[in-house]
Amino acid sequence: MRKIPLSRSAGACAAAIVLSLAALTGCGQSGSATASSGYSGPIGPVNLKQVCPAKIVVQTDWNPEAEHGLTYEMLGPDPKIDAGAKKIVGPLFSHGRYTGVDIEIRAGGPAIGFQSVTSQMYQDPSIMFGYTDTDHSVQTAATTPTTGVFAPLHINPQMIMWDPATYPNVHTIADLKAAKATVLYYQGTPFMDYFIGAGILDKSQVDGSYDGTPANFVAAEGKKAQQGFASAEPYLYQQKIAQWHKPVAYQLINDAGYPIYASQLAVRSGDLGADAACLRRLVPVMQQAEVDYFADPAKVNALIVQAAAKYDTGWVYDIGEAGYATATMRKLGIVGNENGTVGAVDPARVQHIIDITRPVYAAEKVSIPAKLTPDQISTNQFIDPKIGFPS
């Protein structure tokens, strides 16, 4: 149904999950970055041709979805969907004007055999940007370091949900501990290790068998809680899953003490210097694309739904879910400004993420650099502080 976290595994092809509970078949790598859009219109006020590669390649962390909306917003006229390679290519536009280069957006998850985005970035140097979470960037800082340059999601949309009818006195994730509710989650999810270590949940009550399908939650008839995404599952369980068809209650994991920046657009840390001239012009384009997308998401959402259908990975994503996602992300502040600026990060928050994940990874024998600093994980150096959502 929803993305399987890749923060700890570079998996081979796994059974993935859709509303119908069908298993996906086939693994594969995304195609090479050879095809171009063929667009040759006049270049507008933002000229990326002078400082950027001819094609900006973005590796996303899942199938096309509204969380990637700003990236699709940058596509200009007549983008080309390559269903076989699970990618889309088009001229890169900024605020309705051509920038002189192309953008290629690659699907993740099943399209890359459920490998992590970071591993793809280090296998394929043509990838300039990858969608990565800050906790994953901490985890891989010693081996395959990445640095986020733009944070499209101000708050992580991941949550834990429960049946409010079964648990009327549960209002937070911590309340599930007193209720002794079983909590379903993906095995190897870092936030669950943090919750257990912090005493928010008991190890005895968590169940790492969640595979993304609704089957276990539905079969429990409300007795079990489950991880998910606030931008998807509340809509799906109330509107689309016939065996449930009622509301769920939830709390964001951000609000329970695990405030990562999810799905940052990151580059290989070693490329920051070489890419700096491009990033100085391109990151503000991303900022404006984020604002433009959420101001009027309908056209881009239609393209996202079309691409998801053509990729035919088993991922079911319709216009209703896309619309719910964009509305919910704005309503809950999942997208928003950091001190008046879209896409910026708070270094103190990044340091907190380093501090709370270090013991989690130490328990797994993962070496984290002793002097790891927030600016190595996320940087605001290319952000235009004047660009943000209207207050």
User: What is the per-residue pLDDT for 5?
Assistant: 52
pTM assigned to the model: 0.92
d(CA 285, CA 279): 9
Whole-angstrom distance, CA of residue 253 vs CA of residue 144: 26
State the Cα–Cα distance between residues 198 and 142, nearest whole angstrom: 25
Task: Give how far Cα 18 sits from Cα of 287, 312, 316, Å.
Answer: 32, 11, 6
Beta strand pairing status for 182-184 and 206-207?
A: parallel
pLDDT digits (tens, 9 = 90+) for 215-272: 999 999 999 999 999 999 999 999 999 999 999 999 999 999 999 999 999 999 999 9
Q: Does domain 55-153+261-377 have CATH number 3.20.20.70?
A: no
Query: Predicted confidence band at 29 (pLDDT cuts at 50, 70, 90)?
Result: very low
Give the mean model confidence (pLDDT) for residues 312-318.
Answer: 92
What residues form DSSP beta bridges with 56? 103
Helix and strand tally (H, E) in the chain? 12, 14
Q: Which two tokens stand for residue 131?
A: 């969608």
Res. 30: pLDDT tops 70? no
Ranges 29-38, 52-61, 310-319: which has the least confidence: 29-38
Does the pLDDT of residue 31 top 80, yes or no? Answer: no
Measured CA to CA, the distance from residue 336 to residue 151 in angstroms comes to 10
Please give the structure tokens belonging to residue 254: 């951000």
What are the backbone dihedrals phi and psi of residue 243, each rounded to the nearest 5 degrees, phi first? -75, -10
Distance CA 119, CA 9 (A): 10
CB atoms under 10 Å from CB of 125, counted, come to 11
Number of Cβ within 10 Å of residue 260's Cβ equals 27
Cβ–Cβ under 8 Å, residues 127 and 53:
no
Q: Which residues contact 48 (CB under 8 A, 6 or more apart)?
A: 56, 92, 99, 100, 101, 278, 281, 282, 285
Instruction: Give, in order, the Cα–Cα distances in Å from 2 to each of 21, 30, 110, 210.
Output: 11, 20, 11, 11
Q: Do 55-153+261-377 and 158-256 show the same overall fold?
A: yes
- pLDDT (0 to 100) of residue 340: 96
| Nearest CA-CA partner of 1 in 138, 202, 144, 161 | 161
Relative to beta strand 158-162, strand 87-94 is unpaired
Supply the mean pLDDT for the chain.
92
Strands 55-59 and 97-106: parallel
327 burial class (0-12, 13-18, 19+ CB within 10 angstroms)?
middle
Mean pLDDT score, 306-313: 96
Pick the CATH number of 158-256 from 1.10.3470, 3.40.190, 1.10.287, 1.20.1740: 3.40.190
Q: Where are the domains of the chain?
A: 55-153+261-377, 158-256
pLDDT in tens, 151-206: 999 999 999 999 999 999 999 999 999 999 999 999 989 999 999 999 999 999 99
